[in-house]
Amino acid sequence: MQFKITVLKKKLDEELAAEYCQNEVTPCPVFEEGQEFVAGFEKPEGFCDWAWNDILRFVTVLYAGGNFSRGNFEGWMKDDKTMITCCTDAIRPVTFKIEKIDG
């Protein structure tokens, strides 16, 4: 089973960065908007370890045959093979689209 992970958005909360960070902060340097990764259950090469840990729970749901439009996720995603999620970096979050690839 494979998944396509697409980087949808990178953001920077400049106000929080100025108030709480020691140095100048830029948007996430690891990802670029539009960047795509194809992976199985293992972290794709070049993917941020922290971000992978954050999205792994959603990959696991799809890998185990779950979905995001029925059951516990009733009424959430339009497509049961797709999830929109993000890493937990509150200063510079990255938003991902995870899609189960049929094959």
Is 76:69 a contact under the CB 8 Å cutoff? Answer: yes
Q: How far apart are CA 64 and CA 70, in angstroms?
A: 14
pLDDT tens for residues 72-101? Answer: 677 788 888 899 999 999 999 999 999 998
Report pTM. 0.91
Higher pLDDT residue, 39 or 10? 10
14 DSSP 8-state letter:
H
Would you state the structure tokens that stand for residue 100, as one six-digit string? 């189960």
Distance CA 76, CA 85 (A): 12
